[in-house]
Amino acid sequence: METIDLRSDGKKIGLINNGNNYFTFSSTAAFQPVTYSWENIRIELAKNHGHCFNGVSSVQKQILDNVTGCIQPGEFLAIMGASGAGKTTLLNCLTFRNAGKLKIHGERYLNGAEVNTDILARISGFVQQDDLFIPTLTVKEHLQFQALLRMDKHFSYEERMNRVDNVILELGLGKCANTVIGLPERDLKSISGGERKRLSFASEVLTNPSLIFCDEPTSGLDSFMAHNVVKILKNFAFSGKSVICTIHQPSSEVFSLFDRILLLAEGGRTAFFGPAGDALPFFSNLGIPCPPSYNPAEFYIHTLATEPSKEAESKERRNIICNAYEVSEASHRVFEIAEANKHRNKAIRKRNGRGGVKKSPYKASVFDQFRAVVWRSVISVVRESVILKFKSFQTIFVAVIIALLFQGQTLQYENISNIQSVLFIFVDILTFQNVFGVVSAISNELPIFLREHHNGMYRTDVYFLSKTLADLPVYIFFPFVFLSIPYYAIGLNPFTDRFFVSCGTVILVTNVATSFGYLISCAAGSTQIALDLTTPLVIPLLYIGGFFLRNGSVPVYLEWMRYLSWFMYGNEALSINQWAGVIFNDTACPNGICTGAQILENYDFNPEFFHRDIGGLCGLIVGFRFLPFLALLSKTY
Ligand X SMILES: Nc1ncnc2c1ncn2[C@@H]1O[C@H](COP(=O)(O)OP(=O)(O)OP(=O)(O)O)[C@@H](O)[C@H]1O
Length of the chain, please? 637
274: alpha, beta or left? (left if phi > 0; alpha if psi -120 to 50): left
**Distant-in-sequence, close-in-space partners of 427: CB < 8 Å, separation ≥ 6:** 506, 509, 545, 566, 567, 570, 571, 574
Stretch of 87-95, 137-145, 338-346, 603-611 contacting ligand X, by CB under 6 A: 87-95
Nearest CA among 382, 376, 458, 450 for reference residue 145 = 376
Return the range that interacts with ligand X (CB under 6 A); candidates 97-105, 423-431, 522-530, 608-616: 97-105
CA distances from 256 to 90, 214, 250, 481 (A): 23, 18, 9, 63
- Least distance to Mg ion from the beta carbon of 102, Å? 14
Nearer to ligand X, 83 or 392 (CB): 83
Supply the minimum distance, in Å, between the C-beta of residue 124 and Mg ion.
Answer: 19
Q: Does 62 bind Mg ion (CB under 5 A)?
A: no
- Residue 144 vs residues 344, 365, 425: alpha-carbon distances, Å: 38, 16, 44
Binding flags for Mg ion, 68-87, as an x/- string (CB under 5 A): -------------------x
| 265: nearest Cα among 325, 318, 302, 308 | 318
Q: Which does 83 bind (CB under 5 to 8 A by kind): Mg ion, ligand X, none?
A: ligand X
Residues contacting Mg ion: total by CB under 5 A? 2
Q: Of residues 3, 48, 83, 528, which one binds ligand X by CB under 6 A?
A: 83
Question: Taking contact as CB under 6 A, which single stretch among the options 78-86, 275-283, 524-532, 541-549 is the one that binds ligand X?
Answer: 78-86
User: Which residue's CB comes closest to Mg ion?
Assistant: 88
CB distance 261 to 77 below 8 Å: yes
Instruction: Answer with the entry of ligand X, Mg ion, none that 248 interacts with (C-beta below 5 to 8 A by kind).
Output: ligand X
In this structure, which long-range contacts are made by residues 619-622, counting pairs with CB atoms below 8 Å and at least 24 apart in sequence?
620/512, 620/515, 620/516, 620/564, 620/566, 620/569, 621/508, 621/511, 621/512, 621/515, 622/515
At 103, which helix (H) or strand (E)? strand 102-110
Is residue 58 involved in binding ligand X (CB under 6 A)? Answer: no
**The one segment of 80-88, 230-238, 489-497, 552-560 that binds ligand X by CB under 6 A:** 80-88
Q: Which of 13, 23, 26, 84 binds ligand X (CB under 6 A)?
A: 84
Hey, which residues between 223 and 262 contact ligand X (CB under 6 A)? Answer: 248
Q: How far is the CB of 227 from ligand X (least distance, A)?
A: 19
Residues 88-117 that bind Mg ion (CB under 5 A): 88
Measured CA distances, 415 to 33, 141, 408, 420, 421 (Å):
80, 55, 9, 9, 10
40 sits near Mg ion (criterion: CB under 5 A): no
Indicate which single residue of 41, 63, 70, 372 sits in contact with ligand X (rule: CB under 6 A). Answer: 63
Per CB under 6 A, the list member of 86, 125, 486, 616 interacting with ligand X is: 86
Residue 312, Cα to own-chain centre: how many angstroms?
A: 41
Q: Per CB under 5 A, does 595 bind Mg ion?
A: no
Q: Stretches 83-91, 175-183, 450-458, 549-557: which one binds ligand X (CB under 6 A)?
A: 83-91
Instruction: Report in angstroms how near the CB of residue 267 gets to Mg ion at its nearest.
Output: 16
> What is the Cα gyration radius of the chain?
31
Binding window for ligand X (CB under 6 A); candidates: 84-92, 222-230, 283-291, 451-459: 84-92
Q: Is 403 in the site for ligand X (CB under 6 A)?
A: no
* Window 31-50: contact mask with ligand X (x via CB under 6 A): --------------x-----
- Cβ(471)–Cβ(625) below 8 Å: no
Q: How many other C-beta atoms can be found within 10 angstroms of the C-beta atom of residue 488?
A: 12
Shortest CB 217 distance to Mg ion, Å:
12
Angle at 10 between CA 8 and CA 11, to 5 degrees: 110
Contact 473, 552 (CB under 8 A): no
Q: Are the beta carbons of 181 and 135 closer than 8 angstroms?
A: yes
Residue (87 or 260) nearer to ligand X, CB: 87
Residue ranges with strand state E in 448-582? none
The residues binding ligand X (CB under 6 A) are: 45, 63, 81, 83-89, 100-102, 248
